[in-house]
Amino acid sequence: MSYQTIFLSIFRYIHWYSKLPKINVYIVCYNNEVIEEVERTLSQFGRIVEKNVSRIVPQFYYYRLETSDKEDVEKALKNYLEKDLISWYKIEETFG
C-alpha cells in the first residue's frame, strides 16, 4: 500500500467523523460501576472524543461525543435517571 493510499484513507476517515455533530454530555453519578455502564452505552451511540472527571466533585463526569443520535442518547440517559442509577444529566449541542 502506498503512502498516498494510506493518506487518502486517513483523510476520508477524519473527514467522515468531522461531519458528525458533537454533543457535550454532563453526568452526576455516585457509583463507579454504573458510570462504566453509562460510558459503554454512550460509546454505542458514537465516538467518545473526550472524557473528564471533575477534580473538585469526583462524581461529575463530562463527555464530548460525536454522534448523529442525540435523541437516542437522551432516551438512554433518561432511562438511567428514572432507574435512579444516575442523579443528573445534561446534553448540549456544540458547533465543532
Q: How far apart are CA 44 and CA 47, in angstroms?
A: 8
CATH number for the domain including 74?
3.30.70.260
Q: How far apart are CA 57 and CA 11, in angstroms?
A: 39
Quick one: pLDDT band at residue 44, thresholds 50, 70, 90?
A: very high
Can you give the residue range of the structural domain that contains 31? 21-93
Cell triple for 68? 448523529
**Nearest partner of 85 among 63, 65, 62, 59, judged by Cα:** 59
Quick one: pLDDT band at residue 1, thresholds 50, 70, 90?
A: low
How many domains would you assign to the chain? Answer: 1
Q: What percent of the chain has pLDDT over 70?
A: 81
Cell triple for 15? 473527514
Indicate the pTM of the whole model.
0.78
Quick one: pLDDT band at residue 89, thresholds 50, 70, 90?
A: very high
Give the bridge partners for 26, in sequence order: 62, 90
Residue 83 in any domain: the answer is yes
Give yes or no for a contact between 35 and 43, defined as CB atoms under 8 angstroms apart: no
